[in-house]
Structure 1
């Protein structure tokens, strides 16, 4: 077992492992125990009472974080020439089509989100093996395949993220940065939790919100009280 550093021990000592924290308490505490030299990412992990192997219990969607992600999201808009100006004005970092498809075939994936149009999806099919594992394949369900390219780009730049329950029933999402105020961290976390509550599948039985943990990059996790945040 790896030995804890002095800073890690100090962070651990500030967390009461027998306590379920409120969202406000956890948001303040996660800032206090974050001691890396960069602006750490703040992450939320929510274990849901669902069986992701069953289609009627899959939880997947999008949420716009009210205070943004704190990250400069790099957006590639794969669009036809008539949509290029629209995508550029909305703030897309890379705009084009065939030249970027060729770059992706060559292994280039230096973007965070790809937005495209329904008519272009056929060209992206063969690139699934490159884009799929990186979570970059556009999907109508997450609003990244649309004719309203400008809105899609603007939403992503403003803090729209997509989430999906993994095979163990957990939704992981980065909801901000350690430089955010505790109020902003709590506000973003609340927005995601509220969205998940509204998406409870009717086929899900028993306790839906099983556990919620808040953490930052390399920090210990803080357990929230699921009943207090619903």
Structure 2
């Protein structure tokens, strides 16, 4: 694959075979984010687990201290007595059967997060084939199936992200924008990694954090040392 001059110049700033401290790595990422838009900064962590086994799944959610820099549109499924609380917390869309019909009949998907109260999951479950492939299906582990929908909305708006293992045993997560600067990104990075370490399955053997790379949308990946996390 052929890369442009900016990308190739960025590659030269990274020492071969070096694993950087997270703050230093994120400083490099910010300096190398040269696109005309505010690039998203992402973390890619390869874990020493086998996602084919149910007892080695890694999934959860965490509120990043400095948010993600992205405006999140929230859709809430709940009973009418919780409508006002959900709207008061900032949810753009609140409803029940009406929202299900809109999604099914109109292929409407103008939202980024779906939250549901437990008593609505029988209804929301019918949307599994639509929401599932897009990673939008509410889940108790991610805190998106909860009786306290207002709190879940507040957390989503504040920068709550979900992390989950893919089929290649890697977690991919955004931790903010390049404009945040290295200090704020590093606080978000640390919060995410600590959550992933805490979620280590009992069945996982050997080295848990196999490798970690931080990068921006158009930038070069910078390897991060995970030794201080002791996993």
Q: TM-score, normalised by structure 2?
A: 0.96
Note the C-alpha offset of 1:129. 0.8
SS in 2 for 1:119: helix
Work out the number of aligned pairs and report it. 229
2:94 is the counterpart of 1:95 = yes
The answer to whether the 8 Å contact 1:91/1:154 transfers is: yes
- Structure 1 gap ranges (5+): none
The answer to whether the 8 Å contact 1:23/1:229 transfers is: no
- Structure 2 gap ranges (5+): none
Note the C-alpha offset of 1:217. 0.1
The list of structure 1 runs, each at least 4 consecutive aligned residues, that deviate by more than 6 angstroms after superposition, is: none
CA distance in 2, matches of 1:229, 1:34: 27
CA distance in 1, matches of 2:134, 2:20: 33
Q: Which residue of 2 aligns with 1:175?
A: 175
The answer to whether the 8 Å contact 1:190/1:229 transfers is: no
Q: TM-score, normalised by structure 1?
A: 0.96
2:68 is the counterpart of 1:69 = yes
The answer to whether the 8 Å contact 1:22/1:228 transfers is: no
RMSD of aligned Cα (Å): 1.1
Q: Which residue of 1 aligns with 2:14?
A: 15
Once the two structures are superposed, residues 34-72 of structure 1 have per-residue CA deviations (whole angstroms, 9 ceiling, x without a partner) of: 111111111001111001111111111111111111111
2:190 is the counterpart of 1:190 = yes
Once the two structures are superposed, residues 69-111 of structure 1 have per-residue CA deviations (whole angstroms, 9 ceiling, x without a partner) of: 1111110112221111000100111122222111110211121
SS in 1 for 2:145: coil
CA distance in 1, matches of 2:15, 2:128: 45
Q: Which residue of 2 aligns with 1:118?
A: 118
The answer to whether the 8 Å contact 2:78/2:95 transfers is: yes
SS in 2 for 1:137: coil
